[in-house]
Structure 1
Amino acid sequence: MAVQVPGLISVIVFYVLILVVGIWATRKVKNQNSITETENMLVGGRNMGIFLSFMSLTASWITGPTVNGAAEGVYNSNQGLLWVAPALFGYSLSLVLNGIFFVNKMRGKGYVTLVDPMQAKLGLVAGVILSAVQMVCDLFFQAATLVVLGGTLETISGIPNVWAVLLSSAVCVFYTMFGGLYSIAYTDVIQIVFVVVGLVIAIPFVLTSEVVSSISETAYTGPDGWLGTWDDNFTGSYIDLWLMTLMGGIPIQDIYQKVLGSNSLKNAQLTCILAGLTSCAICTLPVIIGAGAKSANWTIIDYKDANGSSPFDLGDQAIILPLILNYTVPVVVSIIGLGVIAAASMSSLDAALLSTSSVFARNVYQAVIRKKASDRELVWVIRIAVVIVSALSILIALSVNSVLGLLYLAGDFFYCLVFPQFTSVLFLDPNAYGAIPALIVGLILRVAAGESSLDFEPLFEFPGEGNYPFRTVAMVTSFFTLTVFSYIAKFLFERGYIPKKYDFLKSNLANEE
């Protein structure tokens, strides 16, 4: 692809602006007077105002895959708005649930990472396993984001995909390494404003294009409409998707690094609730563009082979957002619209980098490898981890064919494995003897269900086929296992049936000093 000079210039300007703001924000870290430098870097000295934390959390939630995927899902004849709604609005509403039920327990006790309360309650072994789940899922998310980001920048500027991925990662790594949460938060403000403004500018051009009919005329069910088609045979799967997104979006470190950085408990709760509602509103913007793509006359457009084939016919629905912008809006507006995906991707990529690195440094390195590590040492561990994590995500993005399939699987892991543990630790009385069996059971049940996007077939037949909510079954079974095994272990140790010396997971269930 030839280099597109206007697009290349816009990319350079955008990245220079992000770098300048990110570097400027590092001064905020140096000027904070919190207890430790690590706390400054990871939670901004717990001094972030509600506007900054709200904008940053919203930006992290409106990701590149979200914007791109919303338009793709609405356009796709096999999905439509009905079937993409759980991913768009379910995850957004999970922020509201976080703000109402979970934030007060996390922010009120001064935790630094999502894994902290689980590691404190369940012990090192369970803590390290949960840290690994969190880090692996974040890696998959970063890789998927880089795939979208690389493809978008290649379309805008003509930069080869590999170089686009490397450039974007380098920019994120630089300001995240030295500025931590404050650099991420201030750059997020620019990125989310760019996302909203870009989409708002592009929508009128798409809807008024001569090749696009009124979206109200195509707002119906069936393969030719963009609302989607209900199928009673998949009722269980549909409910499963809503539950997975509503609850699986709760135990994610990206959320809590922003929430725990808020300057008060009240602001932390408001941040989550407002960000969730705002994310729902913003998600409607790419939905409208997807509806416009569904309403476009691709015969008039002469797409690709000029024989009337649509992007769906040719398997190009994954890039429908840049395609419809390319054919319906002026070049300048198209560049702005495509820049939206880049901005959304950047705003979530930096947060995921810090999220993975903070969990490794605090819940693996400090908790297991170097318990007496100094604060300064931890800061450098975080910085080195940012570089390593970025390199791994680049490797995955450039070498795995179905990164989005890994992303879907990661979302399921948060729901099936982490959600039961996180909720139990905050509201019940679990222990390591219940936590580890629960993790094993949840993992087996989820993996046994397979993953169609990765061409991984189920290990055995489930009842009801499409009506079987396999994710929720795995989550509930894991929750049940955690509760029952924890109770049994506590009963046996407290009553003296098992001597304290056999408490090899150091859970102190015998309540002895």
Structure 2
Amino acid sequence: MSSSTEIFKLWGMSIGPIEIAFGLYLVFMLAIGIWAYMRTNDSSDYMLGGRGLGGAVTALSAGASDMSGWILMGLPGAIYFSGLSESWLALFLIIGAYINWKFIAGRLRSYTEIADNALTLPDYFAGRFHDGGKWLRIAAVIVMIVFYGYYIGSGLVAGSKLFESSFGYDYNTALLVSTIVIISYTFLGGFLAVSWTDFFQGLIIAISLVVAPIVLLVEYNGLTNIVEGVRATGETMGKENLASFTAGLFDENGAFLWITFLSLMAWGLGYFGQPHILARFMAIKSVNTVPQARRIGMTWMAICVLGAVFIGFAGIAYFGGDFAASEYKLLTTEEVNALNTQHGAEKVFLLLTQALFNPWLAGFLLAAIMAAVMSTIDSQLLAVSSSVTEDVYKPYLRPKASEKELVWVNRFTVLLVAGIGIGVAMSGSKNVLNLVGQAWAGFGAAFGPVIILSLLWKNMTRQGALAGVITGGVTVLVWDYLGSNTDIELFGLYELLPGFILAMLAIYLVSKVTTVSEQTANQFDWYSSEFKKYKS
């Protein structure tokens, strides 16, 4: 299948409307990186943009960095492959995101400023608990390095699938091209570049997830015909329950699948521990800006999630039956058959885009997928590089390092971490949703309970926080291993839930047998009084 009408050739490669539209988008992203580079003067600018983000930029950059390739590849692919029952995951994510905005965002913005103007999560932990021994900070940095390897790898897999499917590159070449593009503006402009590119990428993602469903509704003359098409396809494929919201929650005997339901519900818990999302809360202009950002962010998320679910669902009807291989749809039988695998299903939006739209608009919509990928990887690269610089290099290796030196250490750490992500992406695990799930669970279990209790519980101790980080992270790794290597049903439960629960217990029990320092208790009282002023 040719993805576009050829206009001219460059170094033996066909260049058409899709490639041109896509290229213009990438040039725009790099221009923002150069603009931000000119405005980055010190490590605070590079890591948090000087704590000056407005509500709209905070909301859309947080949303775009959260959703990643999952919103345009992972979620539509899951709906296409398994049916509407997979939308429960999206519902619980929306609930988790709202609670995170409502109860965590403002408190974290307030406390990070009081805790020695913390610029990273490990820095916040150290300032919140006065971690003189530094073990809490070190444990947090290790968790970030380990789980960001999975996360960045998932984004690079998504970006590589995009280049592979749209432009005909082999997987490894696509991986190299997408990596170079993504790290370029992150390397140059830091947090300011990441936030503003994520803002525009968030707009592009939302537009694409509104335009594509509208076109599909017009194509089918309404939702009723799409539902009928899905049911007909399900009967042909032996999957009669594709249009059911609850079918995936019951086995063939009608018994409720508690492990499946709890696993889907557990995804919402992950929001409380994602460093690249929490960094937006830390960087917002003031606590008073949070309500506006929350309204914008949740509206954006609802639109995007509903659009992604609709695309996956409509794709079942669109690519089902003999009509799928017709010239009108621009797909061969082999390409349609590839969609009927779990990995191949993640390309449903890519193929719909190329089948439905003229090449110029298709280029824009393909850019939306790259935007989703880029907006997460850039935030993750920045989060982990900032932690390595602020929490390892500066305190232990070069305490007297200049601001210029710290900025450049950040930049070169971006390159190093990107290399780790490439290794994960080339490891053979090419399923976006699985890689995202491992990283999401790791951060949610290791950091989520610590974040929640540190903001709400005065009697939490430094030792309790350290126990929570270690317990949550280790539980996720061990549970995932046991789930992959044993047949015990319990270990089929998503590892985030047991990791989160055990981390909470570890924090509580260890805090009960240790003592809060007077300095830490006084600081919590100060934070509580300051936050109440904002609420009033």
TM normalised by structure 2 equals 0.80
Match of 1:480 in 2: 505
Report deviation, 1:124. 1.1
Shift of 1:181: 1.4
Q: Which residue of 1 aligns with 2:37?
A: 26
Q: Which of 163, 183, 190 is 2:173 aligned to?
A: 163
Report the residue type matching 2:355 in the other structure. Answer: Y
Distance in 1 (CA, whole Å) between partners of 2:379 and 2:111 is 22
More off after superposition, 41-50 vs 381-390: 41-50
Q: Is 2:412 the counterpart of 1:384?
A: yes
Q: Which amino acid aligns with 2:464?
A: G
Q: Give the SS at the match of 1:430.
A: coil
Residue of 37, 47, 51 corresponding to 1:42: 47
Q: Compute the RMSD of aligned alpha carbons.
A: 3.3
Query: What is aligned with 1:250?
Result: 272
Closer/same/farther in 2, CA of residues 10 and 165 from structure 1, 3 Å limit? farther
Contact persistence 1:198–1:339 (CA under 8 A)? no
Deviation at 1:329, TM superposition (A): 3.5
- Is 1:235 equivalent to 2:246 in the alignment? no
The alpha-carbon deviation at position 91 of structure 1 amounts to 5.1
Deviates more, 1:98-107 or 1:409-418: 98-107
Verify: 1:99 aligned to 2:105, yes or no.
yes
| Number of the residue aligned with 1:64 | 69
Matched, 1:225 2:243: yes
Tell me how far 1:41 sits from its aligned partner.
1.2
The Cα of 1:355 is off from its aligned counterpart by 0.9
Q: Aligned partners of 1:178 and 1:450: how far apart in 2? A: 36
CA shift, 1:178, in A, is 2.7
Secondary structure of the residue that 1:449 maps to in structure 2? helix
Post-superposition shift, 1:436?
4.0
**306 and 426 in structure 1: CA distance in 2 versus 1, 3 angstrom threshold:** closer
CA contact (8 A) 1:94 1:246 kept: no
Matched residue SS, 1:366: helix
Q: What corresponds to 1:289 in structure 2?
A: 311
Residue 152 of structure 1 and its aligned partner are, at CA, apart by 0.8
Give SS of 1:399's match.
coil
Q: Specify the alignment match of 1:12 in structure 2.
A: 23
Count of residues in correspondence between the two structures: 483
Q: Deviations over 1:120-173 (max 9, x none)?
A: 314411221112112322221111111111111232233443333333322332
Aligned to 2:450: 421
Correspondent of 2:87 among 82, 86, 96: 82
More displaced stretch, 422-431 vs 405-414: 422-431
1:511 alignment partner in structure 2: none
Q: 1:262 maps to which residue?
A: 284
Change (3 A) 1:437 1:310: closer
Q: Is 1:406 matched with 2:435?
A: yes
Match of 1:34 in 2: none
Kindly tell me: are residues 474 and 74 of structure 1, through their superposed partners in 2, closer, same or farther at Cα, counting changes over 3 Å? same
My pick for the range that moved more, 335-344 or 163-172, is: 163-172
Residues 93, 280 of structure 1: 8 Å contact kept: no
Residues 58 and 91 (structure 1), Cα distance of their counterparts in 2 relative to 1, 3 Å cut:
same
Which residue identity does 2:34 align to in structure 1? I
Query: SS at 1:401's partner residue?
Result: coil
Aligned to 2:403: 375
Q: Which residue is 1:113 aligned to?
A: 120
Task: Map Cα deviations across residues 427-467 of structure 1 (whole Å, 9 max, x no partner).
Answer: 33333433444444434543443369xx7224x8465x76x
Verify the 8 A CA contact 2:272 2:452 in the aligned structure 1: no
Check the 8 A contact 2:122/2:387 in 1, yes or no.
Answer: yes
Matched, 1:204 2:225: no
Unmatched runs of 5 consecutive residues or more in structure 2: 3-12, 232-238, 326-330, 522-536
- More deviation, 47-56/62-71: 47-56
Q: Gaps (5+ residues) in structure 1?
A: 31-36, 495-506, 509-513
Distance of 1:366 and 1:306 partners within structure 2? 54
Encode CA deviations 1:160-219: one digit per residue, 9 max, x unaligned: 433333333223323222321111222223322222223333323333336997234468
More helix by share: 2
Give matches, 1:413-452, under 5 Å: 413-428=442-457, 429-450=459-480
Is residue 107–residue 268 contact of structure 1 (8 Å, CA) maintained in 2?
Answer: no
The 10-residue stretch of structure 1 (187-196 or 100-109) with the greater mean CA deviation from structure 2: 100-109
Letter in 2 for 1:449: W
